[in-house]
């Protein structure tokens, strides 16, 4: 009797597989909406054949991974010299819609007469943002901070960053990045650091496929040199000597840790430097 049930289940599984394949091969399709069946899809459908061994129908094949490798794209950078505790950057480019998309902001600025740690909240494209990491350095009077914030934004090609800051800020720079095909829209590893000499070290453990966004700040008017990440911009906010910078990388070989740093011409004279970095997979 047991053999008959197992055989019937296997027959039903095979019939289900045949039906799914037939629909995929012969039904009218838009190439973009229904791409041709490839080897990976066939392997997933083949999981149906094992259902008789693990229990009665329904039998569910493993879910496919996101279509394509994880990617990180730098879109643009903007700044403002007048912010206070509320900043809005409107209609910033965020690239085309893609699977499991996350929009990231690489932020930095200068607290107004406060050494308190900066914290960022608000929305990106109307979606409540998450602060992945924030780092504040100070000279006893002002705080010089860097942060990485993000939100999963499923649609649209532009986004407004409506930011609320815990400490009033006079100069803020923003770098906009788009991440695609993520396995998880939650940040994986984060690191924040202040300068030692003229270098901010942001080493981070990585796996193949990780993507990362970093930010940095310097108030001494010098530009940055990134190591272990590709620099995307240096922005002298309002020609004030307050420099914000952003960088990214896409990992091709696991590293423990990947050496990442940003080095400045000067972090002295009370114009201290800070940096922040986050990875996703």
pTM of the model: 0.78
Provide the pLDDT for residue 193.
97
State whether the Cα torsion 107-110-111-112 is positive or negative: negative
Provide the pLDDT for residue 49.
47
Residue of 18, 15, 13 lying closest to 50 (CA atoms): 13
Provide the pLDDT for residue 151.
98
Provide the pLDDT for residue 145.
97
Domain ranges across the chain? 2-54, 71-280
Distance CA 36, CA 276 (A): 42
Provide the pLDDT for residue 195.
95
Provide the pLDDT for residue 183.
97
Provide the pLDDT for residue 211.
98
Provide the pLDDT for residue 24.
44
Mean pLDDT by 10 residues, the chain (281 residues): 41 40 40 46 46 49 66 98 95 97 97 94 98 94 96 98 96 97 98 96 98 96 96 96 96 98 87 94 98
């Amino acid at each position: 009797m047991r053999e008959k049930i197992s055989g019937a289940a296997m027959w039903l599984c095979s019939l289900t597989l045949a039906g799914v394949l037939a629909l995929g091969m012969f039904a009218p399709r838009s190439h973009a909406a229904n791409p041709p069946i490839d080897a990976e899809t066939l392997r997933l459908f083949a999981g149906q054949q094992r259902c008789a061994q693990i229990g009665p129908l329904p039998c569910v094949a493993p879910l496919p991974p996101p279509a394509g490798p994880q990617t990180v794209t730098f879109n643009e950078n903007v700044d403002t010299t007048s912010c206070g505790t509320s900043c809005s950057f409107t209609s910033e480019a965020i690239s085309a819609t893609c699977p499991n998309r996350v929009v990231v902001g690489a932020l930095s600025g200068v607290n107004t007469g406060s050494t308190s740690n900066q914290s960022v909240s608000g929305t990106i494209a109307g979606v409540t943002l998450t602060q992945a990491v924030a780092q504040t350095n100070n000279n006893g009077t002002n705080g010089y901070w860097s942060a990485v914030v993000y939100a999963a934004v499923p649609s649209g090609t532009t986004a407004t960053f409506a930011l609320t800051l815990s400490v009033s800020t006079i100069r803020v720079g923003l770098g906009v990045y788009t991440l695609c095909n993520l396995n998880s829209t939650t940040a994986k590893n984060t690191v924040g650091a202040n300068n030692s000499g003229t270098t901010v070290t942001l080493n981070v453990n990585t796996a193949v496929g990780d993507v990362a966004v970093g930010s940095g700040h310097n108030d001494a008017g010098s530009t940055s040199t990134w190591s272990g990440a590709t620099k995307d911009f240096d922005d002298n906010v309002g020609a004030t000597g307050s420099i914000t910078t952003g960088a990214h990388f896409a990992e091709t070989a696991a590293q423990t840790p990947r050496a990442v740093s940003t080095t400045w011409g000067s972090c002295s004279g009370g114009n201290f430097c800070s940096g922040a970095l986050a990875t996703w997979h």
